[in-house]
């Protein structure tokens, strides 16, 4: 059920977010919240693996870079591919996420990525927040909420989406894209 629901959500998000090759998508996910438990109280590696695997399959094919946010026990560090960390000059930190420190989805992503590392921070072009994990710190400065028709939850929890846009500068005489 979750797989079918999430696939439909990702298809809608892909259309609405208007991402292009090379963009960065940050993911925050509480598997506990998906199953109706309080965040951090009932992690499910199987659910995390499903979520991470579906995201990796879909967005890698579109050449979108993924960053999976860990929980506060790892200071909300991000699981990314080493190539992305090098290209973006990200600060790599020394830890490996697992179910009880980092979260199930981040732990699964770490195992599913080709050459994973943890980065301290990132400035992503878009984000998906499953279960109120607060990914905003990892988005570029001007975040714009995305509303998807008929999509408010994944399993038992809220799901929120955002994209970013360049800042408007220059005032009333400026012309914008």
Domain extents for the chain? Answer: 2-166
Question: What is the overall mean pLDDT for the chain?
Answer: 95
- CA distances to 41, 94, 170, 172 from 52, rounded to whole Å, are 19, 21, 41, 43
Q: How much of the chain, in percent, has pLDDT values that exceed 70? A: 100
- What pLDDT shows up at residue 58? 98
Structure token pair of residue 149: 């028709």
Q: Can you tell me which residue has the tokens 């998000």?
A: 13
> How many CB atoms lie under 10 A from the CB of residue 10?
17
Relative to beta strand 126-130, strand 24-29 is parallel
pLDDT band at 171 (very low <50, low <70, confident <90, very high): confident
Say how far apart CA 168 and CA 64 lie, in whole Å. 25
Q: CATH assignment of 2-166? A: 3.40.50.10360
Say whether pLDDT at 119 is over 80. Answer: yes
pLDDT band at 106 (very low <50, low <70, confident <90, very high): very high
Say how far apart CA 110 and CA 33 lie, in whole Å. 21
Q: Can you tell me which residue has the tokens 């420190």?
A: 101
H or E element, residue 24: strand 24-29
Q: How much of the chain, in percent, has pLDDT values that exceed 90? A: 88
- What pLDDT shows up at residue 43? 92
Say how far apart CA 49 and CA 21 lie, in whole Å. 24
Q: For 41-95, how does the pLDDT look when each residue is reduced to its tens digit (9 = 90+)?
A: 999 999 999 999 999 999 999 999 999 999 989 999 999 999 999 999 999 999 9
At 13, is the secondary structure helix, strand, or coil? helix
- What pLDDT shows up at residue 82? 98
């Amino acid at each position: 059920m979750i797989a079918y629901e999430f696939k439909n959500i990702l298809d809608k998000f892909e259309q609405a977010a208007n991402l292009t090759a090379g963009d960065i998508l940050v993911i925050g996910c509480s598997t506990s919240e998906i199953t109706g438990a309080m965040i951090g109280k009932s992690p499910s590696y199987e659910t995390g693996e499903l979520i991470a695997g579906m995201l990796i399959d879909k967005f890698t094919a579109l050449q979108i870079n993924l960053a999976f946010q860990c929980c506060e026990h790892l200071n909300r560090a991000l699981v990314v591919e080493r190539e992305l960390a090098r290209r973006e000059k990200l600060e790599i930190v020394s830890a490996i996420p697992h179910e009880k420190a980092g979260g199930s989805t981040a732990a699964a992503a770490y195992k599913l990525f080709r050459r994973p590392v943890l980065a301290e921070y990132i400035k992503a072009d878009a984000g998906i927040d499953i279960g109120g994990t607060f990914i905003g710190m990892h988005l570029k400065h001007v975040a714009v909420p995305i509303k998807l028709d008929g999509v408010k939850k994944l399993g038992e929890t809220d799901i929120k989406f955002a994209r970013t846009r360049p800042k408007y500068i220059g005032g009333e005489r400026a012309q914008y894209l």
